Structure 1
Amino acid sequence: MTTNEPSEKTEDRSLNNHAALKTSIANGDVREVKTRLKGHSLNKLEKGYLIDLARLSGNSEIEEVIKSTPES
């Protein structure tokens, strides 16, 4: 059974955005990473994970974009 509560939809969108963000980092798409992070904040754990992912992909520009994103 599926509910249509607003909080559930928001959580689904958030998870989808996070998955798309990880894909953009892995693909080295700086523009897409900037777009997905614009106006958002990251918690400390999530930010650290994304920075590590950017380092693993070898993209220092994406790493700086993530580092400049505010923490929540």
Structure 2
Amino acid sequence: MGSDNTDRNKPGIANFAALKTAIVNGEDQLVRELLSHEPMLDIEKSYLIDLAQLNKNHTIIKLLENISVKK
């Protein structure tokens, strides 16, 4: 039973890791592709925006700011 929950979370974790890498590398197009139209947790969104701000990538910052937050 526990493995079902773990398996279900893997794509989300892998996507988040890929998103962080794309932000650090300044890959605007890849960030666009990795961002789903689903809302993300506020803490995740804030972290990714902080990461983009460290790299001063205004395009990625705007992309992230437009993501809705899960309630």
- TM-score bucket (shorter structure): 0.7 to 0.9
Work out the percentage of aligned pairs sharing the same amino acid.
Answer: 32
Q: Distance in 2 between matches of 1:8 and 1:44?
A: 22
Runs of 4+ aligned residues of structure 1 deviating over 3 Å after TM superposition are: none
Residue of structure 2 equivalent to 1:63: 61
- Which amino acid letter does the alignment assign opposite residue 48 of structure 1? S
Residue of structure 1 equivalent to 2:51: 53
SS in 2 for 1:42: coil
Q: Distance in 2 between matches of 1:70 and 1:42?
A: 7
What is the alpha-carbon root mean square deviation over aligned residues?
A: 1.3
Residue of structure 2 equivalent to 1:12: 10
Q: Offset of 1:16 from its aligned partner?
A: 0.6
> What TM-score do the two structures reach when normalised by structure 1?
0.86
Deviates more, 1:19-28 or 1:40-49: 40-49
Q: How many residues align?
A: 69
> What TM-score do the two structures reach when normalised by structure 2?
0.87
In structure 2, the gaps of 5 or more residues are none
Q: Distance in 1 between matches of 2:24 and 2:62?
A: 15
SS in 2 for 1:58: coil
Q: Distance in 2 between matches of 1:19 and 1:34?
A: 14
